Amino acid sequence: METLVKIAEALELPGYHLLCKHFNVSADYLLGLAEDKVQQNPSAVTVVQIPDEVSGLISDYQKLDWDGQKAVIRTIDKELERIKSGNAESGAS
């Protein structure tokens, strides 16, 4: 099981689990802590310090109903596609 999924479940934050499943990536990859999309040793446990800003986003995500969570996932998909297509210049601040 992915590292952050274990943490999210322990903190009762299943949102990360949904995002990891949706994008078919490890939690470490989702947080930018790993370059590989899939964790190489899924039985290994890595302790990750979640920044307050990310923790706040998780908390806000959890407050959304299912439609709101799907809207967040769709937005992330669109932004990732925009960046992949080379239109990322307007996104940096």
The per-residue pLDDT for range 7-61, each reduced to its tens digit, is 555 555 556 677 777 778 877 777 778 777 776 555 666 677 888 888 888 889 9
CB neighbours of 70 closer than 8 A, spacing ≥ 6?
none
- Overall average pLDDT of the 62-71 stretch: 91
CB neighbours of 37 closer than 8 A, spacing ≥ 6?
24, 25, 26, 29
pLDDT band at residue 75 using 50, 70 and 90 as cut-offs: very high
User: pTM for the complete prediction?
Assistant: 0.44
DSSP state of 48: -
Which pLDDT score is estimated for 49?
80
